[in-house]
């Protein structure tokens, strides 16, 4: 599911998943480059869906996924749980899937919770988990905020991003 979602983050391109980005043996460093499999959707479609997901986080119900200083593209999902007799009452499975920074994706995360106890909706449960994880990832990976990346671009500095 995350790889399919990453097609949007990668501007419509399906990129072969990889777990390792570098292999380090002593002083020898080998970088494993991303491999593009094929174009799945147009770049324009990916940009349109990204804008929709930015709106979901910034002005919609997914606000618990907001991360100060970063543009987050993402979406919640809340599903009732079917049984033979119908749906379980007061029990759901929830997800939040998102990437950041939205204009130069570096990190993508899928949070899936089965029957969370702290709430019924993904906006109450999975979105805050995403935010907490994303806060740690931007620090650990030293991802500059949107403002800093814009200043670097305006100054002509290189602002690279490793696609998810």
Per-residue pLDDT, 24: 94
The structure tokens 């049984």 sit at 83
Q: Predicted confidence band at 113 (pLDDT cuts at 50, 70, 90)?
A: very high
Per-residue pLDDT, 159: 55
Rounded CA separation 60/71 (Å): 14
Residues in the chain: 164
How confident is the model over 20-41, as a mean pLDDT?
93
The answer on pLDDT for 160 being more than 90 is no
Residue 128, H or E segment = helix 126-140
What residue ranges do the domains of the chain occupy?
43-154
How confident is the model over 70-88, as a mean pLDDT?
94
Q: Predicted confidence band at 163 (pLDDT cuts at 50, 70, 90)?
A: low
Tens-place pLDDT, residues 10-19 = 999 999 988 8
Tens-place pLDDT, residues 45-59 = 999 999 999 999 988
Superfamily (CATH H level) for 43-154: DD-peptidase/beta-lactamase superfamily (3.40.710.10)
The answer on pLDDT for 158 being more than 60 is no
What value does the mean pLDDT of the chain take?
91
């Amino acid at each position: 599911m995350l790889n399919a979602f990453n097609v949007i983050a990668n501007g419509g391109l399906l990129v072969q998943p990889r777990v390792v980005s570098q292999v380090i043996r002593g002083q020898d460093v080998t970088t494993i480059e991303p491999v593009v499999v094929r174009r799945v959707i147009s770049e324009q479609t990916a940009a349109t869906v990204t804008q929709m997901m930015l709106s979901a986080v910034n002005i919609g119900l997914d606000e618990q996924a907001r991360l100060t200083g970063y543009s987050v593209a993402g979406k919640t999902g809340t599903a009732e749980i079917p049984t033979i007799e119908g749906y379980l009452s007061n029990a759901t499975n929830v997800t939040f899937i998102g990437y950041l920074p939205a204009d130069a994706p570096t990190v993508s995360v899928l949070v899936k919770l089965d029957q969370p106890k702290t709430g019924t909706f993904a906006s109450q449960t999975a979105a805050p988990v995403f935010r907490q994880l994303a806060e740690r990832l931007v620090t650990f990976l030293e991802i500059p905020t949107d403002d800093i990346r814009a200043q670097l671009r305006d100054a002509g500095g290189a602002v690279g991003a490793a696609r998810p």
